[in-house]
Amino acid sequence: MHTSALKLIDSNLPEKWQEILSDLITDPKELLQFLELDETKLALGSDALGQFSLKVPRPFAKRIRKGDWNDPLLRQVWPDLLEETSGPKDSPDPLSERSFNPIQGLLHKYHGRALLTAASYCAVHCRYCFRRHFNYENNSPSREEWGIVLKYLAEDTSIEEAIFSGGDPLALSDRQLAWLIDQVSEISHISTLRIHTRLPIVIPQRVTSKLIRILTESRLKSVMVVHCNHAQELDEQTKAGLSTLAANGIIMLNQSVVLSKVNDKPQILIELSRALFSCDVLPYYLHLPDRVSGTTHFQVTKRYALEILGEVQRQLPGYLVPTLVQEEAGESSKTRLV
Ligand code: SF4
């Protein structure tokens, strides 16, 4: 079963993921032309672009409706003029991650697990990203510096789970990814590898037989948490990739962020949960957006998010209802709101 699933994925690949990753749409005008949008209505946040550039993979751009400024996928990637307006509670580092960053490449916030900033870049720039101001320059370890991170993990026997995050860890080459997984798997008290990634959503070609081999041949139990906010992000190829990962024994979960004018309606979240389930991914967390500078226009109040989720709960079985959470600086875990 595994072999045929892998063949299916690879034989369907029109392009290699590396080529797609090196040919992202980064010019706002190109994106507007591709989407047949009127450039004269351009409300571009040029300051925002300087801080956090435009990055849209072409397979994701193809899922954006042409000619529609209100498309929920476009809203996630378009640098709106509103990014230049910050609210009084907004901060470049709302979760105080800097205080949990003891050494380059490592965030150690919660008991039992530690997060490695395995890659310093992403395939897509989500405008609401809580790490849009993160100092990746200081968190891009060389092989030697990874040695220090690995020593830290080896010396703290309470750490059972290594979380690869970033940036996007699947933006690493297979060789780099396999090397890091091998190193972590040599630490006997670590039993689980969790990968936080948006790549299988935005560039489904990233799901290859080689990637699956790397994950399944490790002694570590693999959990993949993808990030998808709207059912429109899940086209047939994306669903096939996610199903194939699940069919190969990788535990597949999704986390979303509830975002104003993207997915802040019960029906949208219900459709998302159903679409994820159809490709063997379970909804995990629904985050309230973090108060990151430049993201005020995405904010949804806690009260409204609870109302939306209440309706989702009424219509779906419990296993399709994500847990609404909020991250708060200094807390020892995420705060569950329901
Ligand atoms: S993929 Fe994740 S880390 Fe990268 S910009 Fe989007 S939300 Fe941020």
33-47, 77-91, 241-255: which is most confident: 241-255
Query: Both tokens of residue 277?
Result: 């389930």
- Percent with pLDDT over 70 in the chain: 87
The protein residue with its alpha carbon nearest to ligand 1, atom 7, reads: 129
Residues 326, 334 contacting (CB under 8 angstroms): yes
The protein residue with its alpha carbon nearest to ligand 1, atom 8, reads: 129
- Strands 113-117, 161-165: pairing is parallel
The number of the ligand 1 atom at minimal distance from the alpha carbon of 167 is 3
The answer on pLDDT for 9 being more than 60 is: no
pLDDT digits (tens, 9 = 90+) for 132-185: 877 766 667 888 899 999 999 999 999 999 999 989 999 999 999 999 999 999
CA of 135 to the centre of ligand 1 (A): 14
pLDDT digits (tens, 9 = 90+) for 279-338: 999 999 999 998 888 899 999 999 999 999 999 999 999 999 999 999 877 676 788 887
Ligand 1 neighbourhood includes 131 CB (under 6 angstroms): yes
Rounded mean pLDDT, 256-268: 98
Mutation choice for ligand 1 from 168, 170, 230, CB with most ligand atoms inside 8 A: 168
Provide the CATH topology of domain 2-257+276-283.
TIM Barrel (3.20.20)
pLDDT reported for residue 294:
87
Dump the DSSP string for 149-171: HHHHHHH-TT--EEEEESS-GGG
pLDDT reported for residue 208:
97
Residues 301, 261 contacting (CB under 8 angstroms): no
The protein residue with its alpha carbon nearest to ligand 1, atom 6, reads: 126
CA of 260 to the centre of ligand 1 (A): 17
Strand partners of residue 195: 164, 224
